[in-house]
Each structure stands twice: as C-alpha cells, then as structure tokens.
Amino acid sequence: KKMGAVKAATLQILLEDGYNVLISDADVVWFGNPWPIVGGMPGIATRPDAHFLEQADILVSTDCIDFLEDGEPGLIGHEHNTGMLFLRSSVASIEFTKEWQVRALETTDGHDQTEFNRILKGLYVPGKPGKAFRDLMPWPYLPLALVGDMNYTASPPSLDRRATDPARDLSRTPNGHNGIHPDVLSQTWETFRKHKAEGLRDAYWLWHGQIKVGLLPMAEFLNGHLFFTRRLQEYSGIKPIAVHLTYQFGDTADYVYGKRQRLREHGLWLMEDESYFTQGNFLHLTFPQEGYKHIVEKYMDVAGKCKETDPIKTKCWHPTFLTEKDIVDRQISLRDPEAPIDPARAHLEVQGWLRGALRNGIVLARKLNRILILPTLECFCERHWWLLDDCRIPAGKSQMPMPYQCPMDHIFEPAEW
C-alpha cells in the first residue's frame, strides 16, 4: 500500500514540475519508440491514428487478452494495468494522482492498481473517503471528440446538437444508459462508429467526466499472455513496442524464476554471458516433435479441423470436436460413444510422454556429464486460473493457435529446475 502511494506521490511531484511522465514496471521489456503513439514529443510526429491519444491526460495498457477488442469502446471497461503508464502534465492528471495516493493508502481490499481502476471508473465520490460503490457498474464514458476538438476536422460535430459537458453528461442518471445522459447517447455511439471507420483510436472522459484517458494499442503494448502464450506479434505482423510480463506462473517470493525463464526462451534475458550458451558439453533431445505427433495422431482427424476464425491454419486443435463416436475405432475408450471426451486428454497424454522423455534425458545427461537442453514444449491446453473453454481461455479463444509453443511455466515449476 505504501509503495503504491509513494508511486502516485512521485508522479504528482513530476507532473507539478511540468514533466510528462512515462513509467513502467521493472518487468517490462521495451523494443521500440512509444512517442509516435503517446504524442507531444518535440520533433517526433504523432501517428494519424493517435490523434485523440495525444490529447489524453492518461494513457495506460490493458490486461485484456481478446485482441478483437482492441480499438473498441468496450475495452475501456477492462482492467487497466499500470505497469505501462503515461501521464501528461495537466490539472486533471495532478488532481488524479492526489486522489490515487489517498485511495491507495485507504484500501482494505486492493492495491494501487485496483484503486487506479476504481477511481477512473467512477466508483468513488471524488475527494470523499469511503468504500467503492460496486453497484455503480457499469462505468460511464464519453468519447473525447464528442465534447469538441478544434484540431479534428474529419468528423465535425453537427451544429444542430447541443454542446456536451462531460461532468454533466456522465452523471449517473436513473434513465441513462451506462451512466451516459440520454440526450447524448446516440451521439456517443455514432462517434465511436465513425472513428472506427476512419481508423482513429478514441480517448475517453472518465472519473465522472474529469479526466481524459486513452488505451495503448494492444498489439504494440502487449501483456504477457498475448506475447508469450498467444504470440500475437508472430501472426499479426505488428512489431511490438513493449511487453509486460503479466499472466505469469512460476515466480516465488524469493525470485522471479518464471519471468526469467520466459525471457530466456525468447532471447530477451541478457544477464548471462556467452559462456552460459557455449561452455560445457550438452545433450539435446531431437525427437519430441515426433513423439507429440505420435500421441495426438489418433485424435487429429477430428480435433484438427480448422475453423474460419483460426489465426494460423496449421494450428487448429479443437478438443471440443472430440467424441467417442468419432474415435472409438482408434481404441481410445469404451465409454458412451456419443459423449464428448475430456478435452484435456490429449494434452495430458502428451505431457505424460514428455515427462518420460525428459526423465530419460536427465538420466543420460547426468551419466554422461552433460547439460540437458530443454526441447520445444508443445501444449494442447492453455494454463489459467479459471475455467477453460475448448482448452482455451474463453476471452479471445478464437485467436488462440493450438497446439502452441508453451512457456515452461505452463507445465513445470521453473524454481524446481
């Protein structure tokens, strides 16, 4: 709690001194230049799609893993992640950091990021102590352009519509929709549709209409699941600017074993010198891919059918297609042939085989005084804290290639290695 409050207080001081602040957690890796998106940097042009983002007081990343939500107005309602955060020096951002400090210290059921989200979504009465009003959901928001933007001419506001005021039009009126005043509701959705057609990223009025907030593009400012598990950067063709190591397993209170391993797997962990990779005698298992293929061959005719939504047509594993009727002749089971089988069955069979292969590899490596190199790890189910659908996380499951090259922490505990 104290660390979160100190973070907000530090940001307040910098903002009051006139600095715009780009801040990231220690587990963020930067690949490129964010300023064409963030805007406001002398000598660096702002990208055309970031016109409204350049006017926002706050830009923040998201924990959403459904890439199809990127650029949609509903994305503003997902959990914001302060691990990648930009604040522009303004009266609104300074007042926000003051409120953030107080809430971070007072919270009894969250932390600074929890409070960041609650404040923006209007779950508190500004400046007054007390718990968040959860029954105020869903949160209200207005597109920035609806209030007026003298620099934007592609979609000028109609002269026959009344001027809007974010503080008034985001009041939680009983007859409002999502907290938006009925008088401007149709204008709100018309604005969203128009900007999407024009390829513009919206910024929004939040915190009871007191502050302008934009979301950093998901494909360029990636969370850990999109980068390390779904590998969005590989099939989208969009070059990442930064990745935050979220959706992480395998870390302990003593060390970030899981995060270190993920960075190693992608060549992003630069703490070892060259000798780590070159000095010593190594043992490399070259047969796992053949083993995977052998295990899932009996399922493949059924579960390997591609859907139109599959992002990679060579990775179309769909366990929900599997029924005993389809595969009983392959001697998988004698259960009811009409009943669907456990969608994780193939995944568990593959992992059981892999563990046997690694066990033998470890024994050989020890006997031969060699260092075992881990093979490529293939998974047929995602790992998550909640329920899976078709062995995928329900959010954005149509974008999840399967099987996928899974991080080590999806099937092992890195700390034990």
In tens, the pLDDT along 189-200 reads 888 888 889 999
In tens, the pLDDT along 221-262 reads 999 999 999 999 998 999 999 999 999 999 998 999 999 999
Round to whole Å and give the CA distance between 358 and 291.
12
**134 CB-near residues (< 8 Å, 6+ apart):** 123
Q: What is the mean pLDDT of residues 192-213?
A: 89
Beta bridge partners of 143: 204
At 387, list the tokens.
């329920």
- Residue 391: pLDDT band (50, 70, 90) is very high
C-alpha torsion angle, residues 386, 230, 27, 347 (rounded to 10): 50
CB-CB neighbours of 52 under 10 Å: 22
DSSP string for residues in 186-200:
HHHHHHHHHHHHTTP
Output the pLDDT for position 394: 92
DSSP string for residues in 229-264:
IS-HHHHH-PPPSEEE--S--S--SS--HHHHHHHH
Q: What is the mean pLDDT of residues 127-139?
A: 57
In 3D space, the residue among 84, 49, 54, 41 whose CA is nearest the CA of residue 70 turns out to be 49
Q: What is the mean pLDDT of residues 9-24?
A: 97
In tens, the pLDDT along 82-91 reads 999 999 999 9
In 3D space, the residue among 371, 369, 372, 379 whose CA is nearest the CA of residue 405 turns out to be 379
**The pLDDT of residue 15 is above 90:** yes
